Amino acid sequence: MASMVEMVEAHLLNVQREVQTLNERKTQIDQEIARLQEYLRDGSATLEEAKTPPATPVAETSPQTSLF
C-alpha cells in the first residue's frame, strides 16, 4: 500500500497537471475571444456602412444670368 506521502505527492501532481491544462485552455479561449471581438467590430463597421445612405453629389448650379 502507498504511504500517505506518496498519495499526497500523486494528488499534488494531478492538481499541477490540471492547472496546466486549464491555463492552456484559458489561452485558447482568450485567443478565440479576441478573434470574435475583431470579427464583431469589422461586421459592425460593415453594417454601419451599409446602413448609411451614400452621399449624393451636390449638383453645381450655374449662376442665372438675366438676358433681358
pTM of the model: 0.64
Tallying the residues shown for the chain, one arrives at 68
DSSP assignment of 5-68 equals HHHHHHHHHHHHHHHHHHHHHHHHHHHHHHHHHHHHHHHHHHHHHHHSPPPPPPPPPPPP----
Q: What is the pLDDT of residues 4-58, one digit of tens each?
A: 999 999 999 999 999 999 999 999 999 999 999 999 999 999 999 999 887 777 6
Residues ≥6 apart with Cβ < 8 Å to 26: none
